[in-house]
């Protein structure tokens, strides 16, 4: 099974649309991981950009937690100078020993690989499954 660490933008996409991000998270061929930093950002985005109530956010979060294993990164990284929040994704993926970081974020995608973890869009992994 592939081990993936989805970025917040992939989680949000899977929450509202049944496209590639949704198909990937619900795929039987993957083990998904996340961290508290990513979940905190996810909550913020749902409230700020989608105007969801606290109860609606809690429901969405509960659904996600049925699909993902929450890990606690021990190593702090400073890699993405343009957007330091993206370092949370790298930290989580390293801790999870992920095969892939899944993201639509241009700062992460331009790295292509970080510590042998490939950084790809959801569509690329779906084509491998």
What CATH number should be reported for the domain holding residue 112?
3.40.50.1010
Please tell me the predicted confidence (pLDDT) of residue 86: 87
Please tell me the predicted confidence (pLDDT) of residue 127: 86
Average the pLDDT over 6-25 and give the result.
95
The pLDDT tens digits for 57-66 are 999 999 999 9
For the entire predicted model, the pTM comes to 0.94
pLDDT tier, 28 (very low <50, low <70, confident <90, very high otherwise): confident
**Contact residues for 107 (Cβ-Cβ < 8 A; gap 6+):** 80, 82, 83, 86
Taking the C-alpha atoms of residue 74 and residue 66, their distance in angstroms, rounded to an integer, is 23
**Above 90 in pLDDT, residue 22?**
yes
Q: Into how many domains does the chain fold?
A: 1
The pLDDT tens digits for 38-49 are 999 999 999 999
């Amino acid at each position: 099974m592939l081990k993936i660490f989805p970025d917040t933008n992939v989680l949000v996409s899977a929450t509202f649309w049944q496209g590639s991000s949704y198909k990937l998270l619900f795929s039987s061929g993957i083990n998904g991981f996340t961290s508290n930093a990513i979940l905190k950002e996810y909550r913020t985005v749902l409230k700020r950009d989608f105007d969801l109530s606290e109860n609606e956010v809690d429901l969405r979060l509960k659904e996600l937690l049925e699909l993902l294993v929450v890990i606690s990164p021990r190593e702090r990284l400073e890699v993405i100078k343009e957007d330091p929040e993206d370092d949370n994704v790298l930290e989580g993926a390293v801790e999870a020993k992920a095969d892939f970081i899944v993201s639509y974020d241009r700062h992460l995608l331009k790295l292509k690989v970080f510590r042998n973890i490939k950084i790809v869009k959801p569509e690329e992994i779906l084509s491998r499954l």
